[in-house]
Chains A and B, each alone.
Chain A
Amino acid sequence: MKPERLSFPRVVGRMTTARKSEPPFRPLPIDEMNDSNGAIRSDCVPLKDWLDAIPPTQFEEKRKEAERLFQRLGITFAVYGESAGTERLIPFDLIPRIIPAKDWHLLAAGLRQRISALNAFLHDLYHGQEILKAGRIPAEMIFRNPQYRVEMQGIDLPGGIYVQIAGVDVVHTGEGEFHILEDNLRTPSGVSYMLVNRQMMRRLFPELFSRYAVAPIEHYPKLLLETLRAAAPEAIGHPTIVLLTPGPFNSAYFEHTFLAQQMGIETVEAQDLFVRGNKVYMRTLEGPIQVDVIYRRIDEDFLDPLAFRSDSVLGVPGLLSVYRSGGVAIANAVGTGVADDKAIYTFVPEMIRFYLGREPILKNVPTYQLRNPEERAYVLSHLNELVVKEVHGSGGYGMLIGPASTVKEREIFRQRILQTPENYVAQPTLALSTCPTFVEQGIAPRHIDLRPFVLSGKTIHLVPGGLTRVALRDGSLVVNSSQGGGTKDTWVLED
């Protein structure tokens, strides 16, 4: 398909408007505590009073106590590229981020809508492909995408659900306004930090909870377990569920063991599983035990060396063939990656219209497809204003943040874009909201985002909250923990 045929009037049209109305510099971000007149938002008054009343030395003590607790519980994080076995803490900020009830209602409705549409899209894509036939998404974007798994074509999954767990990245960009950054439909992580941060805050500052009606999140593992049960092959009364981890050297290993323990299920590595007679078993002291649902926290490329990467020593040989014949369930499903790269992302609003017949509740960030020559020319001449991302990148790696970049960095990206334009997209720099945060100089506003977790089983569930990530460096927009970001507890207020 030639690029000219990619003329989706709605998408490109919207982008053109965005382009014209986009101010040359970053718009002013809103602050979670102060409104635009500098007054404290009513929901934040008790928090502000509390902050003002506590001596700074006490905060320092509490911060150290939190750090010690994280260390003792082993809530540590391995950073890629550093020597094996290096364990670091994700910085935890003591000031909670507050989300008013009405904002949460909007967000929750928007997220349910979005994930419903994405599940419908995946089901359609791997069955009749109506959306392609209707010309609403260019077929070449699917079939040239390495994340499209032809092996999944025609496979029926229980309930038609592909994405049991999504960790959607959202930014707060204006009063009552949120933008979706990424959908994260493969193996999203961070939910353990959401849970542990709450435990930590309750322990460190019990008095603050008496000033607020904070919506509970502690039932997340129960909802997750129900979601995984619903994914089991039909007619299994009490499915055996396991969590498949790459092992202790994975950066999210703490989360894997934490969730498994909370759900009372086994943490397995690929070597613990084997395939026999079209079923999957784990090797135990009591002999083989059949496994019905695999909550996989490893990339699908490493699930089965016979199906995906024959060079890999990881994985369970034959797993995919059992999966395809319905002998075992895998959550998230194989093949979800095709719906969450940064190019397909552009079409999610279109999916909502196509499958649900509704207008999207939450906004997408306008995105330039660099494979399109017209958009590419614009982006290349505005690199200093835009954010350029790799289509398949994640974790904040492989990104150019125009306003914060040097001439040299921009030149490197220009070359890369010219070489493989289809690997990149660009977006205007967003005004990520700020939130008061402890930094060396005291309390200062820092940019934050939010990752709520959406569970799709028999119905869609969200616990009110998510993981708030904070960019600790002044002015920085990169919140990823691999890049020095921290986290906060997230308080959704009850009505």
Chain B
Amino acid sequence: MLLRVADHLYWMGRYIERAENTARAVEAIYPTLPNGAFSADREWEGLLAMTGRRDDFVARNGSPSPAKIIRFILFDLENPSSLLASLRAARENGRSVSATLSPEMWESLNTLWLDLREVAAENHLLPGGVLPFIDRFKEGVHLLLGAAHTTLAEEEVFRLIDLGTFLERADHIVRTLRARHSSLLRERGQEAHYASWVAILRSVGALGVYRRVYHDSINPERITELLILREEIPCSLHACLDRINDLLRPLSGGIGPEAVRVAADLHFLLHNDRTRTILLNSLQEYLIDFAAALRRLGEEIDKGLRTPTCA
């Protein structure tokens, strides 16, 4: 596979996952919009802060309101991290390698972009338009991934898309935990944070998994354990790093050994005996370190795919 093609596939995977993460994050707090148990405004502002684009938002939209934030996060094509902009970026990467994707995959990706652009144009001002938009998006992503599973001939194409997917997912888990880490600290009152705990689990698509694993009420220790350490579920950092390691190893010839080394180090962090104690005592520091290491891993992969190792 051409290195350029590998690069586009990897980024296609990242952008699709990024769009999905945005959809989940909005869904997680959407019901709080009319009159939630806790401040709707604060929830939405928290989500805005998590995108890291608050300044851009304020410059173009003035003071935040839930409706404006939703528009910015889902529909605004000038916000490069909005759901629609991520989907556009996924589609542009896909178009650059449309001969490598199966025709079914390319068509479902392209159709999803064309349809959502249209749905967005009709719905972005309607309060009732948000969930139908997200539903249409999720449906389209499932079609796309289904098409990938049934039509892709090359294992390698999958591997690169997955690499992007899991790196992006790990990044999202860390961001979500960081944004809400204060609600996870032990000394805080329990019930007051219940809604926030549910929002964390829903943001990473782990609410159902939590219930199946623990059969019990939600508490912060278990949330951190689940989302960071439990490797058997698909939405934990540990599972993401397992996958990233498996995916990277066979690619080391093409993209160089550095990315593989960084990923192995990160993986080791999760197996360290001390991790459990650290998690409970200094969660924030742990997450900051993890985020930095993930960023370094992303840079190494980019370097490997973009700087030719030959000639």
Q: A72-B107, A283-B3, A285-B6 are in contact. Are A257 and B99 (CB under 8 A)?
A: yes
Most buried by A among B99, B114, B310: B99
CB-based contact B254/A74 at 8 Å: no
Point out the residue from B4, B95, B310 that lies within 8 Å of A287, measured CB to CB. Answer: B310
Q: Which residues of B contact A276 (CB under 8 A)?
A: 311
Instruction: Determine whether the beta carbon of B2 is less than 8 Å from that of A288.
Output: no
A267, B99: Cβ atoms under 8 Å?
yes
Residue A268, interface by CB 8 Å: yes
In the bound complex, do residue B311 and residue A272 qualify as a contact, i.e. CB atoms below 8 Å apart?
no
**A482 to B52 Cα, complex, angstroms:** 43
Bound-complex Cα distance A74 to B1 (A): 23
- Chain A, 262-302, CB within 8 A of any chain B CB: 266-269, 271-272, 274-276, 281-288
How close is B190's CB to chain A, nearest CB, in angstroms? 50
Residues of the A chain whose Cβ atoms lie less than 8 Å from the Cβ of B255: 285
C-alpha spacing A281/B308, complex, angstroms? 12
Q: Is A54 an interface residue (CB 8 A)?
A: no
The range of chain B's interface size is 20 to 34
CA distance A200 to B153 in the complex (A): 26
Report how far A281 CA is from B1 CA in the complex, Å.
Answer: 13
Interface-centre pick from A267, A276, A281 (highest chain B CB count, 10 A): A267
Report the bound CA distance from A272 to B5 in whole Å. 9
Assess whether A285 is in contact with B253, with CB atoms less than 8 Å apart: yes
Chain A interface secondary structure, helix, strand, loop or mixed?
mixed
**Pick the contact of A283 from B2, B111, B156 — CB < 8 Å?**
B2
- Contact digits for B71-82, partner A, Cβ 8 Å, 1 yes 0 no: 000000000000
Residues of A within 8 A of B96 (CB): 247-248
A247 — nearest CB in chain B belongs to which residue?
B96
Contact, CB under 8 Å: B310 / A283: yes
Docked Cα-Cα span, A13 to B111, in Å, equals: 59
Which residues of the other chain, B, contact A260 by a CB distance below 8 angstroms? 99
A285 and B6 CA atoms in complex are apart in Å by: 8
Please determine whether A73 and B310 come into contact, CB atoms closer than 8 angstroms. Answer: no
Complex contacts, A74 vs chain B, CB 8 Å: 95, 98, 106-107, 110
**Residue B103 at the A interface, CB < 8 A?**
yes
Q: Do A73 and B3 have beta carbons less than 8 Å apart?
A: no
A287 and B253 alpha carbons, distance in the complex (Å) = 7
A312 within 8 A of B: no
Q: Does B92 contact A (CB under 8 A)?
A: yes
Residues of A within 8 A of B254 (CB): 284-287
Q: Shortest beta-carbon distance, A64 to chain B, in Å? A: 14
* Per-residue A-contact encoding for B92-110, CB less than 8 Å = 1, 0 else: 1001101100010011001
Q: Which of B92, B98, B254 has the most CB of A within 10 A?
A: B98
Smallest Cβ-Cβ distance to B3: which chain A residue: A283
Contact (Cβ within 8 A) A281 B99 = no
Give the distance in Å from the alpha carbon of A313 to the alpha carbon of B114 in the complex.
33
For A267, what are the chain B residues with a Cβ–Cβ distance below 8 Å?
99
B311, A274: Cβ atoms closer than 8 Å: yes
Question: Chain B contacts of A271 at CB under 8 A?
Answer: 4
Query: Which of A72, A258, A272 lies in contact with B110, CB distance below 8 A?
Result: A72
Name the distance in Å between A15's Cβ and chain B's nearest Cβ: 47
Tell me which residues from 79 to 131 in chain B have a Cβ below 8 Å from any Cβ of chain A: 92, 95-96, 98-99, 103, 106-107, 110-111, 114
B2 to chain A, nearest CB (A): 5
Of the candidates B95, B106, B309, B310, the one whose C-beta lies within 8 Å of that of A281 is B310
**Chain A residues with CB under 8 A of B98:** 74, 257, 261
* B window 1-54: CB within 8 A of A: 1-6
Q: Does B291 contact A (CB under 8 A)?
A: no
Taking Cβ atoms with an 8 Å cutoff, the residues of B that contact A are 1-6, 92, 95-96, 98-99, 103, 106-107, 110-111, 114, 156, 251, 253-255, 308-311
Chosen A-B contacts, 24 in total, with CB atoms closer than 8 Å, are A73-B103, A247-B96, A248-B96, A257-B99, A258-B99, A261-B99, A267-B99, A271-B4, A274-B308, A274-B311, A275-B311, A276-B311, A281-B310, A281-B311, A282-B2, A283-B310, A284-B3, A285-B1, A286-B1, A286-B254, A287-B253, A287-B309, A288-B310, A288-B311
Question: Can you name 12 extra interface pairs (CB under 8 A) apart from A266-B99, A285-B6, A288-B310?
Answer: A72-B114, A74-B98, A261-B103, A266-B5, A268-B2, A272-B3, A274-B308, A274-B310, A283-B308, A283-B311, A284-B1, A284-B254
